[in-house]
Structure 1
Amino acid sequence: MIQRLPAALAAALLTTGVSAFLPSSAAAAAILPNRAAAAAEIPCPKPKVVEKPKNVPPRPVPPPDNPAESAIGGPALATHGLIIPPGAKLPPAVTATTWMVADLDTGQVLGGCGPHVHQTPASVQKTLLAATVMDKLDPNQMMTAVPSDLNIEYHSSAVGIVPGGRYRISTLWLGLLLNSGNDAANALARLAGGGGPDGVARTVAAMNAEAKRIGAFQTHAVTPSGLDGKGQFTSAYDLALIAREDFAKPDFRKYVLTRTAYMPAQPKLKKAGFQFQNENKLIYNYPGAMGGKTGFTTVARTSYMSAANRNGRRLVVTLLGAETRPQRGWQQGEALLNWGFSLPRDASVGTLVTPQDVAAKPTTESGAAPAGARPAVPEARAGSGPPRPLEIAAGASVAVVLAALLIRLRATRKPRPPRQQPTS
């Protein structure tokens, strides 16, 4: 049984050169899944906020950390602090509470701040709606809006559909992804759920099932739009998994790079048509930008997901709980993307799991997973870059890095070589 070092000792080791005690494949900034060792976590770089927001509602109380879920993608990701590859320069200071940068193609996680920490999503939740139902709806199909589609929070974002109006599904997707239309989210969810009064609820259930299928275990949807709801959470890591599903869809890639779109007139309802714009300013200002999604509520604060392509390398950035001063959400995403592109192609602190990884192993000896159980997640795929994520199991909360520290410390007192320690 591995003993835990006192938090004070762990912190002292960190300040006196912890990298000397770490295995060569472990990130110098690797943080431990043991929350009792929180003092050893490396704080994320933060800017000086010019003006703190006023009258901000209290943040929802998140579920307790689940050690196994926090270590999905690799044990180094189980931290509330900073995790970057060994030798990497510090990332830029951003106001985001949590964030992550990953490679869309290889699945390598380049770094992050509290990647598995629960946060409220705001409108980036619309990317989960897209991942769940975009392929199930014909973009050329015409639909008729109903009054319930406009059941959204007062003064929240809407693209402007009207009950009785006729719209193409593709127009609703543009209204959802460019203008963050909560009315479009309700309409799409209703249609995907069968079109009846329970359509939205059916689609929200499907969104939660999709999150579990791809390994986004910190994600729980309550609304299809991301408007705040009790018990609604996600994480920076989960958003990257969702983004990977989305950017695999040609229609999604087309929509999020569209700069302007047009809401058709409804002559029978005496409603004129109008133009709307893409709110993701990254696509106007960043070479290679692939598009993404913005989000904001007074509870969630600013959330953001976007991707970019540079010399054939496609990176995605996700951030949650950010303030817009001194930089807006897209500018923080831009800074983190620049940092990610500056790292070597083999830089990694973990891996984005795939749906195949999640489904690869049964959770019982008989091979059948019990009802409602979350699937076990196997080791990351070969070739994903160091450090290799360990197999997730019930014992994933073992402080792997502390074990390495303890082995080295014992070795200085005893001539015999250290015994092999369990890895999970």
Structure 2
Amino acid sequence: MSPPPAVDTSEQVAPGAKPPVPLPVPENPVGGDRLGECGLVLPANAQKLPDDITARSWLIADMDSGAVLAAYDPHGRQRPASVIKVLLAMVVAKELAPDATIAANADDIAQECTCVGLRNGAEYTVEQLLQALVMASGNDVAHALARRLGGLPSAIRKMNALAAELGALDTRAVTPSGLDAPGTSTSAYDVALIFRAAMKYPDFAKAVVMQRIDFPAASGVGTVPVINDNRLLTTYEGALGGKSGFTDDAQHTYVGAAERGGRRLVVVMLRGQQQPVRITDQAASLLDYGFDLASAEPVGRLVDGAPQARKKTLEPKPTPTSAAVGEVADSRNTQHNAMTTAFGNVGGPITAVAGLGVVLAFVMYLRNRRAKAARAARAAQQSN
């Protein structure tokens, strides 16, 4: 229901404040019943898993069909670290124009790093910051982009609203960068869901696969290289990009994708270790394993949006008419049919009686007026 206890003070709440309660657990596991299992979730007759996987939660899925091929504790809640920047990047790609500008300020520069190196008062395009966010995981950049989205509270609300819209119900962003804070949460299933959706945005898909860009130097003179920190870009054939993260509480996290033989797979690893091999090498092993599961029966699926309650709809009732298609209905028939519908057979006589009453009342009104006029005339003669 919630990540393991923190190992440092990053998630201590302010004195007198209550810690956030865990997110609700859906009655039915999102993506299928088997994805509610807490251990290995494998198809029948699956081959042996690689030996070097250290992640406490992981998942492999087909990016296009959404089929979940294999997983371990897929809805187990862990901390995201910097993989939550994928969610921030998607909000940015959705709302901000690439050529829009953002001026860095002192709060951006004061963020706990990893940082790209912004200069106070310098202006950057959204495209530059989005690329630096994804490639080099700049916390200063994340803060600047969050400000541009209306401020940190607004950016966090937008991130969580988008996660809920996608069906990522294990996810709660508390910081835009993924730095640990009370209540932060995600799952391997959710990260795959979010990454799959983010790859549909061209600005994100372009940024996540770039190996190097020239970024304005913090000194204000010239540029400095920003190198993509995703090792699989240069070591795994068909790599489509990815994002790694680390905090003391989250440990090592990773999401990445690759294409082989016309199939695109995404792999997610949460709460992993760098031993006995790097987390990216472990991800490569899981991708190989997933590509070998081509004919296996899926164990679940990545949903295409949060389950929505069906709205009750009424079939529109066309105006009764005998006109053929393309003809104009006779308005007299339409009026007659509408009256019939409103009053029916019984209502006809009632309507007639009501009409007669109106006529009689009008006649009496005229008689009274004439009588008053006659009395007024007699009174005038007598006064003369």
TM-score of the pair, normalised by structure 1: 0.67
For 2:75 and 2:92, the matched residues in 1 are separated by: 25
| 1:68 aligned counterpart, secondary structure | coil
For 1:130 and 1:327, the matched residues in 2 are separated by: 29
Shift of 1:90: 2.6
1:80 corresponds to: 38
For 2:161 and 2:180, the matched residues in 1 are separated by: 19
1:190 corresponds to: 147
For 2:106 and 2:79, the matched residues in 1 are separated by: 27
Residues 62 and 119, structure 1, Cα contact 8 Å, conserved in 2: no
Note closer, same or farther for the CA distance 1:182–1:202 as it changes in structure 2 (3 Å cut): same
1:247 corresponds to: 199
Residues 63 and 118, structure 1, Cα contact 8 Å, conserved in 2: no
Deviations 1:264-302 (A, max 9, x none): 246xx6454211200000010111100010100111000
For 1:262 and 1:178, the matched residues in 2 are separated by: 12
- Whether 1:358 and 2:307 are equivalent positions in the alignment is yes
Deviations 1:168-192 (A, max 9, x none): 1111011101110001111111112
Residues 208 and 221, structure 1, Cα contact 8 Å, conserved in 2: yes
Residues 81 and 113, structure 1, Cα contact 8 Å, conserved in 2: yes
Mapping 1:242-281, distance limit 5 Å: 242-265=194-217, 270-281=220-231
1:139 corresponds to: 98
1:296 corresponds to: 246
- Whether 1:169 and 2:126 are equivalent positions in the alignment is yes
For 1:119 and 1:202, the matched residues in 2 are separated by: 24
Deviations 1:297-331 (A, max 9, x none): 11100000000011110100011000111121211
Deviations 1:356-391 (A, max 9, x none): x523635xx899xxxxxxxxxxxxxxxxxxxxxxxx
Shift of 1:163: 1.2
For 2:84 and 2:214, the matched residues in 1 are separated by: 23
Note closer, same or farther for the CA distance 1:124–1:166 as it changes in structure 2 (3 Å cut): same
Mapping 1:46-125, distance limit 5 Å: 57=8, 68=26, 71-93=29-51, 94-125=53-84
For 1:216 and 1:133, the matched residues in 2 are separated by: 18
| Residues paired across the two proteins, number | 302
For 1:343 and 1:79, the matched residues in 2 are separated by: 20
For 1:67 and 1:264, the matched residues in 2 are separated by: 45
Residues 216 and 241, structure 1, Cα contact 8 Å, conserved in 2: yes
Question: Residue type of the partner of 2:272?
Answer: A
- Whether 1:213 and 2:171 are equivalent positions in the alignment is no
Question: Residue type of the partner of 2:164?
Answer: K
For 2:142 and 2:27, the matched residues in 1 are separated by: 29
Question: Residue type of the partner of 1:103?
Answer: D
Note closer, same or farther for the CA distance 1:67–1:123 as it changes in structure 2 (3 Å cut): closer
| 1:275 aligned counterpart, secondary structure | strand
Mapping 1:345-384, distance limit 5 Å: 345=295, 347-355=297-305, 358-359=307-308, 361=310
Question: Residue type of the partner of 1:187?
Answer: A
Mapping 1:294-333, distance limit 5 Å: 294-333=244-283
For 1:105 and 1:95, the matched residues in 2 are separated by: 27
For 2:24 and 2:94, the matched residues in 1 are separated by: 32
Residues 69 and 218, structure 1, Cα contact 8 Å, conserved in 2: no
Note closer, same or farther for the CA distance 1:62–1:301 as it changes in structure 2 (3 Å cut): farther
Deviations 1:109-164 (A, max 9, x none): 001000001000000000011122212111122221111222422xx200111211
The percentage of aligned residue pairs carrying the same residue is 41
| 1:100 aligned counterpart, secondary structure | strand
Residues 107 and 352, structure 1, Cα contact 8 Å, conserved in 2: yes
Residues 62 and 118, structure 1, Cα contact 8 Å, conserved in 2: no
For 1:80 and 1:238, the matched residues in 2 are separated by: 15
Which of structures 1 and 2 has the bigger CA Rg?
Answer: 2
For 1:115 and 1:361, the matched residues in 2 are separated by: 27
2:381 corresponds to: none
1:37 corresponds to: none
For 1:82 and 1:252, the matched residues in 2 are separated by: 31
Note closer, same or farther for the CA distance 1:227–1:310 as it changes in structure 2 (3 Å cut): same
Residues 177 and 255, structure 1, Cα contact 8 Å, conserved in 2: yes
Note closer, same or farther for the CA distance 1:82–1:140 as it changes in structure 2 (3 Å cut): same
CA RMSD of aligned residues (A): 2.5
Residues 163 and 171, structure 2, Cα contact 8 Å, conserved in 1: yes
Note closer, same or farther for the CA distance 1:143–1:104 as it changes in structure 2 (3 Å cut): same
The structure in which a higher percent of residues are helix is: 2
Runs of 5+ consecutive residues of structure 1 not aligned to the other structure: 1-32, 34-54, 194-198, 368-424
Question: Residue type of the partner of 1:333?
Answer: A
Question: Residue type of the partner of 1:78?
Answer: G
| 1:241 aligned counterpart, secondary structure | helix
- Whether 1:285 and 2:285 are equivalent positions in the alignment is no
Note closer, same or farther for the CA distance 1:213–1:164 as it changes in structure 2 (3 Å cut): same
TM-score of the pair, normalised by structure 2: 0.74
Shift of 1:75: 0.7
